[in-house]
Amino acid sequence: MSENLINTVTTKIDFKQALKEVGIKANDACLVHTAMSKFNYVPGGPETIVQALEETLSDGTLMMPSQVTTNCDPATWEYPPVRKDLIQFVRDNMPPYNPATSITVGLGVTPEYFRRLPNVVRSSHPYLPIAIWGKNKESIAERQTLNMPYGVNSPLDYLYQNYFLRNRLRNLHDASLRRINNWPQN
């Protein structure tokens, strides 16, 4: 028998139920980072996860980091580092950032799948862009500045101003812990 035997299957229905249980509403805004390996087997893979999120957030906003780690200064690279005499050569030959074509690096298949969907926009930050679907996606994407990509007036600030300030963070955190640890509700 194979060591890779599928023994747990997570479906779109499972994802939607879990999102409902932690209090996600149709008009919420969420930033999502996924790790497909944590779900064991997902029929449909990233497409299933994205469909569950979009169906749950049907009147809201879904964001995913879509970083382009290869589009930063090669002098700072560590994995792998660039030999000092090649740093300028690498800089001179790096293609410019293109929100439509620059590949998401280091975040797995789900954000790369998500950012390529026709109804998703991507912010213009060349290194730390955010892919956005749903309500206000264009105006949220335009907010990300070069000098403070996650600071004031960024896509994350949009979440903070429109979601966390409504005291939802604690509710989501508590509900998530109860679900994960099977804690009884108070």
164 pLDDT above the threshold of 50: yes
Cα–Cα dist 170/166, whole Å: 10
Residue 112 CB burial class (10 angstroms; 0-12, 13-18, ≥19): middle
Measured in Å, how far apart are the chain's first and last C-alpha atoms? 44
What are the pLDDT digits (tens) for 89-147? 999 999 999 999 999 988 899 999 999 999 999 998 999 999 999 999 999 998 888 88
**Is the pTM of the predicted complex or chain greater than 0.85?**
no
CB 56 within 8 A of CB 96: no
CB 53 within 8 A of CB 32: yes
